[in-house]
Amino acid sequence: MITQQWKPSTPNALHRTLARALLASLLLTLAACSTLTPHDPLRIELVGIEPLPGEGLEARFAIKLRVQNPNDRAIDFNGVDLGLQVNQQPLLSGVSDQRGQVPRYGESILRIPVSLSAYAALRQAWGMAGYQDGQGLPYELRGKLANGLFGTWRFNDRGTLNWPQLPAPGAAR
């Protein structure tokens, strides 16, 4: 069996090939380093919920989020992913291919369509069957602003939904 090895026709061809490979490696390294720069996390606020037409046994909403960028660099994005868990169970989820930018030290309002399946609603109702007045419900909002090769910005907000304690029947108000 005869194998052929690649041989450049001239020493200059070898130098050009090595120079191109070195340049490509350098550019990839610089691109990777630029995504590793430290940054402050995005701040997210729920600012609105609007009903949308649903399908069958699902309810659909448009979630409006205020995204604040406390960084010295604008954030360009070309896709959004969003999920909400309540009581450690998935409740809402949605994606959008919207494009935009959150300016440096600025904010933008995003509108993301989300779905609430009948199964998720039943699971939440079942989980709340043992709920007591004044007990808090833990929630977690997770999402990301995608930007292809130049980095994905993830965000996370968690806390507890504290409902007021209901007055006892017949108690003075």
Per residue in 140-155, pLDDT tens?
Answer: 999 999 987 768 899 9
pLDDT tens per residue across span 161-170: 876 666 666 6
Task: Give all strands (DSSP E) within the chain, no chain letters.
Answer: 43-52, 58-69, 75-77, 79-86, 89-96, 100-102, 106-117, 136-146, 153-162
Of 15-29, 102-116, 132-146, which one has max mean pLDDT?
Answer: 102-116
Residues 43-91: tens digit of each pLDDT: 998 898 899 998 888 999 999 999 999 999 999 999 999 999 988 889 9
Domain layout of the chain by residue ranges: 43-127+136-159
Q: pTM for this one?
A: 0.67
**Best CATH choice for the domain 43-127+136-159 from the list 2.60.40.10, 3.60.130.10, 3.20.20.70, 3.90.190.20:** 2.60.40.10
Alpha carbons 70 and 77: distance in angstroms, whole number: 16
State the virtual CA torsion across 24, 25, 27, 28 in degrees, nearest 10: 110
